[in-house]
Amino acid sequence: MPIVRNVSRAVSQLLQSPGCGCGIPVIPARCIGVSPRQVASDASFHLVSFSNSDHPRVLITGGLGQLGVGLAKLLRKRFGKNNVILSDIRKPADNVFYSGPFIYADILDYKNLREIVVNNRITWLFHYSALLSAVGEANVSLARAVNITGLHNVLDIAAEHNLRLFVPSTIGAFGPTSPRNPTPDLCIQRPRTIYGVSKVHAELMGEYYHYRYGLDFRCLRYPGIISADSQPGGGTTDYAVQIFHDAIKTGKFQCYLKPDTRLPMMYIDDCLKATLEVMEAPAEALSMRTYNISAMSFTPQELVQEVQKHVPELQVTYKVDEVRQAIADSWPMNFDDRNARRDWGWKHDYDLPELVTTMFSFLGSDSRIAQVN
């Protein structure tokens, strides 16, 4: 399997390179040939014994990206620590490693991903492994392998073992010919990035497996996700995270999008809440398998104005990155998520003022914020 080994090595190298440490989930799937008998009983890096309950037994791939760690924390609180396995191909930080079960898993290694599912009696799989928009454009062949070949492995294993499978999609699944304001659940989708193409592919393949094989496939199209506990990098919407770090550290922020570029956004707590809610929703309540979800929509200029209420001296300049601007101009300005709100009761908690206040409450222990306030 030389191709798989080379791709896995390339993914690992990419994740360790400068500028890729943010929320670029990449993937897991191999327990590197270690059997339960070979691992010390007190280690977190092992195949765990699950609680005797009716709770789902969960595997999260690409778990060290922007969303995986937060999702694991939420699911462990709800279903029990040992019922949720986080996985990735990168070494986790100590606080993540000791917070609950963690294993090495590479989704490009079909055989060992299958072993993980079987040996751990997995019933729910959250597939977060992917290369994001800007990074994917810089390495199309790697994005194709990770985002498409990895998905095929996950779909086949989920169908074979009757898993409930969640695969996130994105605003990037739409293109310049899609209606942008608002963008409905069902419309023309012609994205112009490998990331977007791979997400449309995931949506359609998941729905095909649902209708052809009965796979319990569920998918949400995420807007731009903003969180305080991950570093920006690799995504077109990451300016909305970077601004908070720069406001605190330097008081200067340079935005790579035009000031009037409107995109849908969401605070991470809303994103994780929606993900759990759609997975827990009764199958009969779902009128479709892929839903838009929305919370707020703003421009860089509107975000700057709200941030300056907390850091009045923040200096902002705009240096437009043509690649990211072209991507943003092809994406929705607003999401129509009426179907999610109707079918399974989706409701967001954070609008722009609450988002900014919450971000600074996490990041604002710095002296600059303390002095301003």
| Known catalytic membership, residue 195 | yes
**Would you state the structure tokens that stand for residue 170, as one six-digit string?**
């994105």
Q: Residues 6 or more apart from 227 whose CB is under 8 A from it?
A: 23, 66, 70, 241, 267, 268
Angle between helices 150-160 and 194-213 (to 10 degrees): 20
Give CA 45 to chain center in angstroms: 23
Secondary structure in 3-state letters for 102-152: EEECCCCCHHHHHHHHHHCCCCEEEECCCCCHHHHHHCHHHHHHHHHHHHH
Distances in Å between the alpha carbon of 102 and those of 61, 72, 130, 200, 233?
Answer: 10, 10, 19, 30, 24
Contact call for residues 199 and 170 (beta carbons, < 8 A)? yes
Instruction: Match 């995270």 to its residue by tokens.
Output: 241
Identify residue 133 by its one-letter amino acid code.
S
Contact call for residues 113 and 29 (beta carbons, < 8 A)? yes
Contact call for residues 322 and 259 (beta carbons, < 8 A)? no
**Would you state the structure tokens that stand for residue 207, as one six-digit string?**
């729905």
**Would you state the structure tokens that stand for residue 185, as one six-digit string?**
């659940």
Q: Which listed residue (110, 128, 195, 291) is catalytic?
A: 195
Distances in Å between the alpha carbon of 167 and those of 191, 219, 262, 339?
Answer: 18, 5, 25, 18
Contact call for residues 30 and 112 (beta carbons, < 8 A)? yes
The residues carrying an active-site annotation are 195
